């Protein structure tokens, strides 16, 4: 259903998982993860599925809420990312926490297996979103919730100070072919997609959350380039004779968000949920 995970996402996530970025990447995403977990409100004893878990969030944070009798399954297409998630869980001596390689379009679970499904920055990338959402509803028990966080609009500080500058100089398509990273930025669009997939009592809210890089502008730009797979074709089109100019302009734009020794971008996201 989707392109091969290693070719599409694996290369950049190796860099996320690398020691160089691991701690700072986790620090930057912590507030979004915490917001989704609070929004989903997992309870002790729940059986939870986290789809598109990547290196293990919010699955690991959710597990802290459902333990000791609850269970979390962290699912992703990439075996490489799941190995990292598994290592993180083992380091915390988690029990009742498993990783599973699988495709959200064809979930490898029986009907009505879970009390909650979570998804952090994954729903935008589902190739056949209606089918994937129907699959998520299928594996939920009646009355249980699916909770998502998705990217808000492209026009926000994090992207305006980085990829928007590259695009201004380079032109052409903003995102890789077929990628709809900002598909749910339009208010009401994600809750509408949930309703179309059969969910009821859908809710949605736009929120600005902290998105802080604990380092310099130069380091932040290096990180963004390393991990932003949807923008890879755009970055690859940067001509050598413009690279220095673009880097300087990005550094200056990012510094506008500097507070002390960190960069405080802020991030616009969409939180949405529906009941099976």
Q: What is the pLDDT of residues 92-114, one digit of tens each?
A: 999 999 999 999 999 999 999 99
pLDDT for position 7 = 42
pTM above 0.75, yes or no: yes
Per residue, the 3-state secondary structure of 169-214, as one string, reads HHCCCCCCCCCCCCCCCCCCHHHHHHHHCCCEEEEEEEEEECCEEC
> How many angstroms separate the CA atoms of 80 and 216, rounded?
29
Residue 6 DSSP one-character state: I
Structural domains of the chain, with CATH: 5-275 (3.40.50.150)
> How many angstroms separate the CA atoms of 261 and 240, rounded?
30
> How many angstroms separate the CA atoms of 146 and 151, rounded?
17
Residues of the chain with pLDDT under 70: 1-20
pLDDT for position 253 = 98
């Amino acid at each position: 259903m989707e392109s091969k995970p290693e070719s599409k996402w694996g290369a950049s996530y190796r860099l996320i998982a690398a020691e160089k970025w691991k701690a700072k990447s986790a620090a930057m995403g912590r507030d979004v993860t915490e917001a989704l977990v609070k929004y989903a409100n997992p309870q002790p004893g729940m059986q939870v599925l986290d789809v598109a878990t990547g290196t293990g969030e919010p699955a690991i944070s959710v597990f802290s809420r459902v333990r000791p009798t609850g269970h979390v399954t962290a699912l992703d297409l990439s075996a490489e990312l799941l190995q990292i998630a598994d290592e993180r869980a083992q380091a915390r001596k988690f029990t009742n926490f498993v990783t599973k390689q699988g495709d959200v379009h064809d979930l490898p679970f029986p009907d009505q297996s879970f009390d909650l499904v979570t998804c952090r920055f994954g729903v935008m990338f589902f190739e056949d979103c209606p089918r994937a959402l129907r699959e998520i509803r299928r594996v939920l028990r009646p009355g249980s919730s699916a909770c998502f966080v998705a990217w808000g609009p492209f026009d926000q500080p994090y992207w305006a100070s980085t990829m928007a500058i590259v695009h201004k100089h380079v032109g052409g398509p903003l995102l890789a072919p077929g990628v709809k990273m900002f598909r749910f930025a339009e208010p009401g669009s994600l809750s509408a997609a949930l309703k179309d997939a059969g969910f009821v009592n859908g809710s949605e809210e736009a929120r600005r959350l902290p998105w802080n890089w604990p380092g310099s502008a130069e380091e932040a730009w290096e990180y963004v380039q390393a991990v932003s797979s949807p923008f890879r074709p755009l970055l690859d089109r940067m001509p050598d004779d413009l690279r220095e100019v673009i880097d300087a302009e990005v550094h200056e734009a990012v510094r506008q968000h500097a507070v002390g020794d960190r960069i405080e971008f802020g991030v616009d996201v969409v939180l949405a949920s529906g009941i099976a």
